[in-house]
Structure 1
Amino acid sequence: MAQHLDNVLDQIRRCEICKDHLIAGPRPIIQAHSQARLMIIGQAPGTKVHETGIPWNDPSGERLRRWLDLDSETFYDPQQIAIMPMGLCYPGKGKSGDLPPRPECAPQWHHQVLPLLPNIGMTLVIGQYAQNYYLNNKPKTLTETVRAWRQWAPRYIPLPHPSPRNTQWLKKNPWFEDDVVPYIREYVHQHLKGTRG
């Protein structure tokens, strides 16, 4: 199984199926290992992640690691955490921020990777694109979806994007950090090894 996963990851890192739509060019970002216990499915890499090739290597990632109560060493250990965005490459800039993740990615790759990660006990689905793809019978708004998190737990946990742009949302919805974040941390503390920062 591990060898099969390595082959799929090699294919993903060479993927160019939507290169004609990527102004910055393809640079698929993924982290996975057959032993991983936690999966993170976000939207798509931003400019800094595209430049460095390191997922969640930005202020959003700093907040996400705080939510998880994890240090960088554990977060970037593929044997513990798998990271696979809806769009694996940086999609480019739009009028109001980054463009949506390319629609080709998830249907092409997610179903090939997920069966090769048998130990995933919790998947964080971050933002509306991931939630629309993975959650059945979800409410219309992100706030209602995140509030209904127990409906899918522990297999899937819907989260708002940890972007600094969502600071106001977090202030308006203190129940998220009071109820959802401790639940995630409990799973992390029980199933992931390493120093939590």
Structure 2
Amino acid sequence: MNATDLDACTSLLAEVRACTLCRDELPLGPNPVLQLHPAARILIVGQAPGRKVHRSGLPFDDASGQRLRAWLGISREVFYDAERIAILPMGFCYPGTGKSGDLPPRPECAPAWRAQLLGHLPNLQTTLVIGQYAQRHEYGAGAASLTDLVRNWRKDWPRLVPLPHPSPRNNLWLRRNPWFEAEVLPSLRTLVAKLV
């Protein structure tokens, strides 16, 4: 990686962080939250920041992040090292709350920024696809259910790794699917340890 690549990435990140594309639709206003560096070898694709993450400006700076870091077997320091891990949710701003949790990511975000940002990640080795919104984008609208995608995690391993959302709201899913912690997480931790 040369200085020009890093400067171009830094410039794009500044542009994204100044984005106001869907300002009028956001209950707390725009505050794009993402993490990117051209050296990153792991990409985490989630849905959109929650209220707490909106306030802190740090991706996964909440209970979901604690669980995700435990799943990956890494510390906060490693997780927030952009040279190791890129974090690009499907929507960069908090979308608001609906009847059963946060609203879906704003639809304007991914088409506006995703391809440009991914173009600055030449060293990716694996992409962790977290939750149904990210999985629909990555696998297509007609893809299998979240449970079936995660159950068939070896299919695109290690290029793509589908995961349930680590939210405490998914405790029931985790209890009903003990194979996830028994089978998927040990392999995931081994993979992440090699890449960070």
Q: What is the letter of the counterpart of residue 93 of structure 1?
A: T
Look up the SS of the partner of 2:184 in the other structure. helix
Aligned counterpart, 1:79: 83
Q: Following TM superposition, by how much is the alpha carbon of 1:116 offset from its aligned partner in structure 2, in angstroms? A: 0.9
Q: 1:136 to 1:150 in 2, by over 3 A?
A: farther
Aligned counterpart, 1:167: 171
Q: 1:93 to 1:23 in 2, by over 3 A?
A: same
Matched, 1:46 2:35: no
Matched, 1:144 2:148: yes
Matched, 1:37 2:41: yes
Q: What is the letter of the counterpart of residue 80 of structure 2?
A: Y
| Residue 119 of structure 1, aligned match among 101, 123, 133 | 123
Matched, 1:16 2:20: yes
Distance 2:188 2:122 in 1: 19
Q: What is the letter of the counterpart of residue 141 of structure 1?
A: S
Give yes or no for contact 1:5–1:116 (8 Å, CA) kept in 2.
yes
Q: Which runs of 5+ in 1 are unaligned?
A: 193-197
How high is the sequence identity, in percent, across the aligned residues?
A: 54
| Residue 26 of structure 1, aligned match among 30, 47, 59 | 30
CA RMSD of aligned residues (A): 1.2
Q: Following TM superposition, by how much is the alpha carbon of 1:139 offset from its aligned partner in structure 2, in angstroms? A: 3.9
Larger deviation, residues 91-100 vs 131-140: 131-140
Matched, 1:135 2:143: no
Q: Which runs of 5+ in 2 are unaligned?
A: none
Deviations 1:89-129 (A, max 9, x none): 00011121111100011111110011211111011110111
Larger deviation, residues 137-146 vs 178-187: 137-146
Q: Following TM superposition, by how much is the alpha carbon of 1:140 offset from its aligned partner in structure 2, in angstroms? A: 3.2
Give yes or no for contact 1:34–1:118 (8 Å, CA) kept in 2.
yes
Q: 1:140 to 1:191 in 2, by over 3 A?
A: closer
Give yes or no for contact 1:138–1:145 (8 Å, CA) kept in 2.
no
Q: Scaled by the length of structure 2, what TM-score is found?
A: 0.94
Distance 1:18 1:50 in 2: 15
Give yes or no for contact 2:136–2:143 (8 Å, CA) kept in 1.
no
Larger deviation, residues 53-62 vs 127-136: 127-136
Aligned counterpart, 1:96: 100
Deviations 1:106-158 (A, max 9, x none): 11111001121111101111011100111259643110111111222111111
Q: Scaled by the length of structure 1, what TM-score is found?
A: 0.94
Distance 1:94 1:162 in 2: 19
Give yes or no for contact 1:19–1:25 (8 Å, CA) kept in 2.
yes
Distance 1:6 1:24 in 2: 25
